[in-house]
Amino acid sequence: MTDSRSDRFVRSHLKTRHLVLLVELGRHGSIAHAAQAANLTQPGASKLLGELEHALGVQLFERLSRGVAPTWYGKVLIRRAGAALAEMDAAHQEVMELLSGLRGRVGVGTVLAPATGLVPQAITLLKSRHARVHVAVSMSTSKALVERLRGGELDLVIGRILDTAAADELNFEPLTDEPHRLIVRAGHPLTARDDLQLEDLMSQCWILPPAGSILRDRLTALFLSRGLEPPAETVETPDLPVVASLLLNSDMIVALPEDAVQPYLAAGLMTALPFDLGVSMDSFGIVTRKRHQLSPGADAMLQALRDAAASMYPHYRRPD
């Protein structure tokens, strides 16, 4: 049942300072620190929080001996408050862009493979068309990037939607899948083998993505499905420059899409082993928020991504 009291509060009395306080409480986990960050007194912050909880009829934060922790309701409001503040910032940016020509800031999140090919090409296209648009690129896992997109911190994500609960809030424009190969340095001892088996790879030192990533889970499942233990000797990092340095200076191996290390392959510094790993990722694509109007700068970045994708991925089809 809808509470008319909370409806009236949200429509008539919810102010920016409530939103700022929610975001800072989520960030700091302390009323005192959140009050300082929001430029409020601690009693003032406590009063604003009490107003919110009273109006909504739910507890937003659990009071602990050392600070506060958001309840499930609190987490929802923190995310929505962050998105609302981001919308207000975007509105200001859009007005400024319209007043002074296309400029402003675009936040783009990307997973590994498009970070080395698609995204740089799209940024080059964007800059050739609108030199004053500033692009900030973040690279991480799809899950982390999509959460930042939902919270309004990013305008666009090139990745995957893994949380089905969030799918209703998001648009997904598929680009391509990522067949993975085993990549090693040129001259690696295994390159002379044409009879490689999965058992031969158990004793190698593997460079792996963090635990919980799709690729890590699929590699683990691959070994277990063959009745084998996953490799015991591993290095864990998602950072491509670190991966490249480790590969070039050791006999480590890594599972990557060839696009991610294409310059090294073209230069003869790395090679793909003659072994069908049989592991690929689900299609990645361009992810945006539904019912959200992109700023002119972010829309220009979206068009540049589509143009770059059309030249790189044979099966990509631009939306009508």
Distance of CA 272 to the CA centre of its chain: 27
320 part of a folded domain = no
Q: Does residue 222 share a domain with residue 164?
A: no
Q: Does residue 102 share a domain with residue 68?
A: no
317 part of a folded domain = no
pLDDT of residue 8: 59
Distance between CA atoms of 88 and 93, rounded to whole angstroms?
A: 9
Distance between CA atoms of 296 and 197, rounded to whole angstroms?
A: 52
E-strand ranges in 127-266 read 133-139, 156-159, 170-185, 206-208, 234-236, 253-257
- Residue 1 clears pLDDT 50, i.e. is over it: no
Residues 6+ apart with CB under 8 A from 283: 160, 174, 175, 176, 177
pLDDT of residue 320: 67
pLDDT of residue 170: 94
Categorize the per-residue pLDDT at 285 as very low, low, confident or very high, splitting at 50, 70 and 90.
very high
Distance between CA atoms of 11 and 309, rounded to whole angstroms?
A: 42
Q: How far apart are the first and last CA of the chain?
A: 40
- Residue 275 clears pLDDT 80, i.e. is over it: yes
319 part of a folded domain = no
- Residue 178 clears pLDDT 80, i.e. is over it: no
pLDDT digits (tens, 9 = 90+) for 196-210: 899 989 889 999 988
pLDDT digits (tens, 9 = 90+) for 179-234: 788 999 999 999 988 888 999 898 899 999 888 788 888 899 999 998 999 999 99
With a threshold of 0.75, does the pTM exceed it?
Answer: no
Give the total number of structural domains in the chain.
Answer: 3
- Residue 50 clears pLDDT 90, i.e. is over it: no
263 part of a folded domain = yes
Categorize the per-residue pLDDT at 293 as very low, low, confident or very high, splitting at 50, 70 and 90.
confident
Q: Share the mean pLDDT of the chain.
A: 87
pLDDT digits (tens, 9 = 90+) for 31-40: 999 999 888 8
pLDDT of residue 9: 56
Which of these three, 64, 79, 94, is where a domain ends?
Answer: 79
Distance of CA 156 to the CA centre of its chain: 9
Which DSSP string do the residues of 231-286 spell out, in sequence order? Answer: PSSEEE---HHHHHHHHHTSS-EEEEEGGGGHHHHHTTSEEE-S-----EEEEEEE
Please state, for a pLDDT cut of 70, what percent of the chain lies above it.
Answer: 92
Among 94-98, 164-168, 287-291, which range has the highest average pLDDT? 287-291
Higher pLDDT, 141 or 188: 188
Categorize the per-residue pLDDT at 136 as very low, low, confident or very high, splitting at 50, 70 and 90.
very high
- Residue 12 clears pLDDT 70, i.e. is over it: no
Q: Does residue 163 share a domain with residue 17?
A: no
CATH of the domain at 237: 3.40.190.290
Categorize the per-residue pLDDT at 97 as very low, low, confident or very high, splitting at 50, 70 and 90.
low
Q: Does residue 227 share a domain with residue 144?
A: no
Q: Residue for token digits 């675009």?
A: 106
Q: Does residue 300 share a domain with residue 244?
A: no
Range of the domain at 244: 178-279
Which of these three, 53, 79, 105, is where a domain ends?
Answer: 79
Do the Cβ atoms of 179 and 280 come closer than 8 Å? yes
